[in-house]
Structure 1
Amino acid sequence: MEKKTARIEAFSDGIFGVAITLLAIEIGIDEYQQPTNLSLWNKIVEKWAEYFTYFNSFATVLLIWMGHHKILNKIWRANHWVILLNGLVLLFVVLFPYPTKLVGNFIDTEAINTAVGFYTGFTGLIVLTMLLLNLGIIGDRGKIINPEKNLEWFFSQIKQQMVAVLVYGIATIIAFYAPYIALSITFMMWIFWAIVTKDTDDEE
């Protein structure tokens, strides 16, 4: 059977690239009156929150892209519903710079709880859309390449995504009481995603 996912893969990769680019564009220091070397260094240091959220969000998007790449690599074709569900994933991915900027701008203010809660909740929504995409794919197993092997991988991913959605939901609640702990949870999820996005095909 001929693989017919080249267009959706190319479109998706482009959207992921745009999302990562937008994350970087948000970082910067506006011009100000009478700048000096010392004052500029101070302003660079003051931006620490933006640096942290950028790297955190970059890693998140990168690892989600890795999982997304493996998903599309395991199917022959994408039907109407899979294309729509894939579009839903891309919708939230390309909007990820928005909650990222909120954390960078408000982490040192009294609005930190809302900013971090929105960030963790939004990250959970991205994972939820990936979960829906996987469910849409296994709903028509004829599109899966080598289903005897890959169907098990899809079920494993679904279980792990359900756990991740729960973790991000808990982190969102924690954000309103201990925002830095909530952010730390999103940071530690890098390790989780780095492990669960790996499969035996990586070693071939």
Structure 2
Amino acid sequence: MALRMKTLATLSLIASLAPAVAFSQSCTVAQVSQEFSYEDTFNSSGSALGDAYAVFQQDRFYVNQQGRLDPNDKPDPIMVNREARANYGQAIRAYMNANGMGDMPAQVLVGSQYTVEIEACGSQDNPSIRVLSMRMGGDIEDDSWELELEYREAELAEWELEREYREAELADWEQRLNQREADLNQWERQLSEWDRRLSDMQYNLEQSD
């Protein structure tokens, strides 16, 4: 009897652990290859996307749902419905926020290729998704600094354009100031000439008296 009770207890323990084991086995690690074109920065209604994470999500719609692939795009078996793609977008957003790139604009991605390693758990209809690593190109590594470097370079280029614009604006103002000074000098010379003529006229009038 004691042996039977011990056996039943063991079977009960195994049964209680079975859901946890099954859940861990339902997780899948996958690599998502994405290339972004200008068209990927617009949603299916034609509205421009402002955030980079939304472009990652939208690209999966065009690739998996519409079969519209850029040269380095590859379909994946996970982002095959709206819920999964939305979860992927939020996972990308969380990863970018954690790496200081939460404010990356969508336009920075155009012409770039990324490989994203993800872990998807749960049902295929609505999986929980976590980004493990992300990098440019085809090799998967946890080199998030390269993504940040690209963003900072794009940000620097934007600052350079702003600086050039301000320098051009300053040069225009300096040109206007120089023109005003030249006009003022001309007016002063003209005023001096009028004063001289007035003095001559007054002198001539006094001599005639």
TM-score by length of 1: 0.29
Compare CA radii of gyration and give the structure with the larger one: 2
Compare the two structures and name the one with the higher helix fraction: 1
